[in-house]
Structure 1
Amino acid sequence: MTEQHTPAEAPSVPRAASRVRASSLVGRRWLNTGGDQVTLEDLRGKVVVLDFWTFCCINCLHVADELRPLEAEFEDVLVTVGVHSPKFEHEADPDALDAAVERYEIAHPVLDDPELTTWQAYSARAWPTLVVVDPEGYIVAHLSGEGHVAGLYSLVQELVAEHEAKGTLHRGSGPYVPPAPVARDLKFPGKAIALGGRGTEPGSLLVADTGHHRIVEVASDLTTVLRAVGGGDPAQAPAEAAELALPTPGMRGHRDGGPDEALFSEPNGLLLLPEDVAAEVGYDVVVADTVNHRLRGLSLATGEVTTLAGNGVQKLIDSERVREAARDEEGVAVDLADIDADPLAVSLSSPWDVAWDAAAGRVIVAMAGTHQLFSFDPVARVLSVWAGIGLEGLTDGPADEAWFAQSSGLSVDAEGTLWVADSETSAVRRVRTGDDGARTVDTAVGTGLFDFGHVDGDPAQARLQHPLGVTALPDGSVLVADTYNGAIRRYAPESTDAAGRAVPASVSTVTRGLAEPADVLVEHGEDGAPQDIVVVETNAHRLVRIAVPGEYLTVDEGARQTARPRTDVVAGELELTVGFAAPSGQKLDERWGDPTQLKVSSSPESLLLDGAGTSVGLTRTLRLDPEATEGVLHITARAAACDGEHGRPIPDNAACHLYQQDWGIPVRVHAREAAPEGAETRLDLDLRGLH
């Protein structure tokens, strides 16, 4: 388990050697400033952290959480500016961004950058990217990925001391203006399940009231709240709550106990355990407590909440796994055996949904933060990695070789197939277990990290946009909460009709015009047939019931790719270099060879004539097809470092750290003789480095 650095012992972020003036902040509008425009000149005298983010990105949300204590400690000298540079088309919608800033409780100014103007000015290439600007307006650090906040503590302390001595530090409040609070019965609900006969009333549902950090039971009218667990009692006055040591309404945190004492932090997935299993373990519902990085158990009879797995520290970096991952030249195969540790001592990473696999007798967990599926045996209290190697992308095959991308929705069908809403690849994936017990992963809909749209028909050409929910139907088809398209979609596998004729697989649209639906479930009639669809409409703060239609819409609004500026490159050899500098107090772990690794691929595959694949080192010569016109280079870089001093051996008990970043670089390819001025023959990226 990775040691957590306190500010006093944190490794420092290296400072830029040259003084480069920070570029202007240009965008469509500002949020969280009371309507005022903000310039870098307004921020002179403050340490400024520019956080380039997009609200679909789990790593960006991790960074927002990592920065909260830093912002609180240095509130009079530090200003964070979130620069929202969207990946998906939907994320450029101003209403969607407004909702995301509220939902994720972003408590600093946000620049809306839909055209990626400021993104380009700061040479950002990946989400998230952090740029630190000193009180005189000069860039001092440029960092990609998450996990940098420990080093930022030291850097901010250095900058504060330096500029206070120079007289260029100005203490006082920044430009952040909190928005007015809005009272709601539900706030950005995430997932829901039917309780059957185990609820307070017939037909009631259990809902993850994510924005209120609580779990609520609602009546069959989908509106009346019957009871709530966690988050504080909305009827409880704050003064009285403090007097009784109870949580105030909407409070996030981690605490076990009864319904009035328990605390959650942005819970999402819910699972009603089989009654015999629930009786044995003492709780009925498993909760994916996402931002607490834990699994929780809830007793329906008492409202008691217990912690089942997770130590609250985001993600596990195991020293031996780091070494294996960094030195494996053929790709990273994951050991799918049980994790030999107390589940309460294991670090999880943003569990987003949970489902029951009856054949395995296990809870399957969509571990969005590590792009994997985990399993949890509630009786034996054992965790394991179920599928996925922890790299972000869309790669099918054996479970221990597959790549997922922020899986956020799960459902198991009658045949035992596990269906997965793989949000960042805008895909529907499935995991099937063979007679020999081996699991394989394949893709029903979707093509990759940067391809999306709203297209029905042949699954090979169909497109989704960041789906978060999925539910299997008795007829073998699957409903999908196609979140950023505001739609419910249906995937129907190949079948035969009543006359024995083959019916090809297809994707269709059930309903449209929803506000970011995050989950979908089906209510059945007395005969067991599907009767109604219940949709968790997150950005409308409600659940809505839709009759199952006899026919489905057909939609083709075109396939799209992430709209980022393309880099002009010259056909032929392209030199790729990824910079990495270990933080102060750490050194590269070279005990077992080169601790760095590059994995390179392209869309389309024909773009790369040479240089694809996985190997050690952070440099590679790629060869681009001169017949190609454009495409995307997919690059994943890793480096392993351990705590230790240069010139001395790494201690056996040293904490080790895996640094990883994924890039998708859109390129436009030109013949050498026709290449425009500035077309690149090399590509320089930073895994962890300076401007």
Structure 2
Amino acid sequence: MNDAVPAPTPAPAPRRRARVRAPELIGKGGWLNTGGKDLTLADLRGKCVVVDFWTFCCINCLHVLDELRELEEKHRDTVVIIGVHSPKFVHEAEHQAVVDAVERYGVEHPVLDDPELATWKQYAVRAWPTLVVIDPEGYVVAQHAGEGHAHAIEKLVEELEAEHEAKGTLRRGDGPYVAPEPEPTTLRFPGKALLLPSGNLLVSDTTRHQLVELAADGESEVRRIGSGARGFADGTAEAAAFSEPQGLALLEDGSVVVADTVNHALRRLDVATGGVTTLAGTGRQWWQGSPTSGPAREVDLSSPWDVAVFGGRVWMAMAGVHQLWTYDPASETVEVAAGTTNEGLVDGPGAEAWFAQPSGLAAAGERLWLADSETSALRWVDTEGAVHTAVGTGLFDFGHRDGAAEQALLQHPLGVTALPDGSVAVSDTYNHALRRFDPATGEVTTLATDLREPSDAVVVGEDIVVVESARHRLTRLRLPEEAVRVDAVAHRTRRAATEVAPGALRLDVIFQAPAGQKLDTRYGPSTRLLVSSTPPELLLAGEGAGTDLARTLELDPSVPEGVLHVSAMAASCDDDPANEYPACHVHQQDWGVPVRVTGDGAARLPLVLAGMDTAEA
């Protein structure tokens, strides 16, 4: 018998993380905001690099641009943000359109125009937006899909700064950003327009964060409202501040309600004095779990893009959460009117309908028309609150085709205008066209082409005045008796399909709470997963909602291709026992994954919901 005391089992050695070298940044469109210089990762060595994969049609991408501004300013000497523009729509692959978007949305960092998605593929990106963090030695250390990750990225940046300062591999100093020269135009990427009772035109001068009143000729400047600096402040015409205002609507008392988009607020303009006050919103962006009704100044909103008065209430195209909300001037309250926050095209009662970035509204009789931009659709709401689709089929089909409504195609429209005869003009933004839908005949025709990113239009007598956003002007057209015919063009989203095997497909939504946080299970399950498909026949089993982030789907082998719509949510809270009131965070991402069913396709589809160390994936 051996009486010797056994040696203790040694603790396992720490697992060594695999280091993944970041692929080079390449794109056929070249670089913007660098003073004409091409950049390589070698040029960025010594910096913490955040690569932002975005496309300018995507509201979530625009949210991320805004989220990154504070990080960009606070860590300007150690962090370089690189935008990689990866287009969804055909128009977004045009180089000049990317140039315009970079200025339009105030992007103050280098941007790589990647029209062929070369870098997107090298980094295995699956969704817009996606953020990749590269350390000062050129290795990928994290990847985040969706928005709301700026806090986690800043913590990671601070860790990288400390680590590489100690190693001597951190390089401080100015980054490669070179600001472009400003252009001296009266308007700069105007968004929406409104005919005032005086006959003058009020225009949201979006990129300059102002409202501009023009004379009836649409050119002569009468006055400006707003300081011109991005901000959120009430006050006089000179002192008030906006952040990328868009929609405008006239209230019964003669004042104007303004969709102050990036401030997530509704503002009121007193036309007589030029004074600005806030009607709704807190200045904070709405997140899952926040109140969806209540006193207007106490409820968060999310990127209201347009407004219209319908049924005695102000309706908001809440682009940021794919919903319609209303503001009641009498009770000074807001509430959700339609939409579930899921992104897609589903008609029916307001509480069940799905939208995809509604961006234009126009009231006409018993219908509220809306431009649902990401589904390239024209839709409408009836007086009972039910949602209907006039033109459009879903997230991935778009083009320029006239004819019967069920066959017609639009491309990312941003505006709708009620016409005197009961028809509707559509500012068909990415087709550079003004289109017309006639409810009486169900036909779509083209009224005008060779516009440049029209985003709104207003009827003035027998004319229609179009906001040519990318030409920085208003353009007056005579409403023609006959439409201009154009050749039909149809497209599908450029993103390559994922090849999957028929039958059982394992869907894994990978979520790891950011450093310093843990899953929040205090009030039940902390995760949610919703799955559907287009066409519905693609899924034999696995559709619907549940709380498990892993699920086995069954694909119909007789359906060769389609789109899997996946919406995932997870809640986490700060994991600090010393903090009596930890902050809680909601992480949400919607994916539309084009799939092609093939015999040798993958049997597993992994999707990353939140930030995690890629070496641990």
TM-based fold match above 0.5: yes
Does the CA-based 8 Å contact 2:149-2:611 persist in structure 1? Answer: no
Matched residue, 2:277: 306
Q: Which residue is equivalent to 2:390?
A: 444
Conserved 8 A contact 1:428-1:444: yes
Equivalent position SS for 2:239: coil
| 1:595, distance to aligned residue in structure 2 (A) | 2.4
State the match for 2:596 in structure 1: 668
Displacement after TM superposition at 1:567 (Å): 1.5
1:556 CA drift (Å):
4.2
Q: Does 1:680 align with 2:602?
A: yes
For 1:593 and 1:347, the matched residues in 2 are separated by 24
Aligned to 1:210: 206
The correspondence for 1:569, drawn from 479, 500, 518, is 500
- Measured after TM superposition, the shift of residue 645 of structure 1 is 4.8
Distance 1:556 1:373 in 2: 34
Pairing partner for 1:418 from 356, 360, 368: 368
The answer (yes or no) to whether the contact 2:576–2:582 under 8 Å persists in 1 is no
Question: Secondary structure of 1:398's partner?
Answer: coil
Shift of 1:368: 0.9
Deviations 1:380-439 (A, max 9, x none): 21111111111211111111111111111001112x2111111111111111123xxxx2
In the alignment of these two chains, the number of paired residues is 598
CA distance in 2, matches of 1:160, 1:595: 32
TM-superposed CA distance for 1:522, in Å, is: 1.2
The correspondence for 2:459, drawn from 517, 522, 544, is 522
Give the match's secondary structure for 1:688.
coil
Kept in 2: contact 1:508–1:555 (CA 8 A)? no
* Cα drift, residue 209 of structure 1: 1.0
CA contact (8 A) 1:587 1:645 kept: no
Matched, 1:272 2:250: yes
Q: Which moved more, 1:109-118 or 1:606-615?
A: 606-615
Once the two structures are superposed, the pairs formed by residues 607-618 of structure 1 within 5 Å of their partners are 607-618=538-549
Q: Give the match for residue 541 of structure 1.
A: 472
State the distance in 1 between where 2:430 and 2:474 align: 17
Contact preservation (8 Å) 2:497, 2:595: yes
* Amino acid in the other structure paired with 1:668: R
CA contact (8 A) 1:579 1:689 kept: no
Aligned twin of 2:194: 193
Other-structure match for 2:300: 347
Instruction: Please list the CA deviations of residues 598-637 of structure 1 after superposition, one character each: whole Å capped at 9, or x if unmatched.
Output: 2222222222222222222111111222222222222111
Question: Given that residues 152 and 611 in structure 2 are in contact (C-alpha distance below 8 angstroms), is that contact kept between their aligned partners in structure 1?
Answer: no
For residues 468 and 215 of structure 2, what CA distance do their matches in structure 1 show?
17
Pairwise mapping of residues 156-175 of structure 1 onto structure 2 (< 5 A)?
Answer: 156-175=157-176
- The secondary structure found in structure 2 opposite 1:291 is helix
How far apart, CA to CA, are the structure 1 residues paired with 2:391 and 2:172? Answer: 53
Distance 1:603 1:645 in 2: 43
> Cα distance, 1:22 vs. partner?
0.5
Kept after mapping to 1: 8 A contact 2:415/2:426: yes
Q: 2:305·2:316 contact (CA, 8 Å) conserved in 1?
A: yes
| 1:553 CA displacement | 2.4
1:316: how far off? 4.2
- Counterpart Cα distance in 2 of 1:592 and 1:598: 17
Give the drift of 1:124: 0.7
Give, in whole Å, the separation in 2 of the partners of 1:16 and 1:97.
41
Q: Which residue matches 1:356?
A: 309
Q: Which amino acid aligns with 2:224?
A: A
Distance 1:159 1:655 in 2: 23
Q: Is the Cα contact below 8 Å between 1:16 and 1:139 reproduced in 2?
A: no
CA offset digits 1:432-475 (Å, max 9, x no partner): 123xxxx2111111111111111111111111111000012233
Q: Which residue of the partner structure matches residue 501 of structure 1? A: none
Q: Are residue 601 (structure 1) and residue 602 (structure 2) matched?
A: no
Q: Give CA-to-partner distance per residue, 1:185-229, whole Å, 9 cap, x none.
A: 111110001012xx3xxx211111112111111111110011111
TM-score normalized by the length of structure 1: 0.84
Q: CA deviation at 1:589?
A: 2.8
1:401 maps to 2:329: no
Residue 308 of structure 1 deviates from its aligned partner by 1.2
Question: 1:571/1:407 Cα in 2 relative to 1: closer, same or farther (>3 Å)?
Answer: same
The separation in 1 between residues aligned to 2:517 and 2:351, in whole angstroms, is: 30
**What does residue range 459-478 of structure 1 map to in structure 2 within 5 Å?**
459-478=405-424
Report the counterpart of residue 68 of structure 2 in structure 1: 67
CA distance in 2, matches of 1:16, 1:137: 18
Q: Partners of 2:45 and 2:399 in 1: how far apart?
A: 42
Counterpart of 2:43 in 1: which secondary structure? helix
Structure 1 letter corresponding to 2:176? P
Kept after mapping to 2: 8 A contact 1:423/1:466: yes
Preserved CA contact (<8 Å) 1:310 1:348? yes
What residue is the counterpart of 2:261 in the other structure?
290
Q: Which one of the candidate residues 615, 618, 628 is aligned to 2:559?
A: 628
| TM-fit CA distance, 1:258 | 1.0
Q: Kindly indicate whether the alpha-carbon contact (under 8 Å) linking 2:400 and 2:488 is maintained by their aligned counterparts in 1.
A: yes
Query: Which residue does 2:44 correspond to in 1?
Result: 43
Task: Provide the secondary structure at the position in 1 that maps to 2:488.
Answer: strand
Post-superposition Cα deviations, 1:212-249, rounded to whole Å, max 9, x if no partner, equal 11111111111001111113xxxxxxxxxxxxxxxxxx
- Given residue 640 of structure 1, which amino acid in structure 2 is its aligned partner? A
Q: Which residues in structure 2 correspond to 1:192-271 (within 5 Å)?
A: 192-196=193-197, 199=198, 203-231=199-227, 250-271=228-249
In the TM superposition, residue 137 of structure 1 has moved relative to its aligned partner by: 0.6
String of CA shifts for 1:145-204, please: whole Å, max 9, x gaps. Answer: 1111111111111000100100111111111111111111111110001012xx3xxx21
Moved over 3 A (4+): 316-319, 642-646, 653-656
Query: Distance between the aligned counterparts of 2:16 and 2:22, measured in 1?
Result: 12
Aligned partners of 1:595 and 1:455: how far apart in 2?
Answer: 45
**CA shift at 1:18, angstroms?**
2.6
Offset of residue 554 of structure 1: 3.3
Distance in 2 (alpha carbons) for counterparts of 1:57 and 1:206: 26
CA gap 1:514/1:259 in 2 versus in 1, 3 angstroms: same
TM-score after normalising by structure 2: 0.94
C-alpha distance in structure 2 between counterparts of 1:384 and 1:664, whole Å? 28
| Structure 1 Cα separation of the partners of residues 16 and 160 of structure 2 | 13
Residue in structure 1 matched with residue 482 of structure 2 by the alignment: 551
Match of 2:381 in 1: 431
TM-aligned CA deviation for residue 374 of structure 1: 1.0
Equivalent in 511, 528, 531 of residue 448 of structure 2: 511
Where does residue 83 of structure 1 map in the other structure?
84
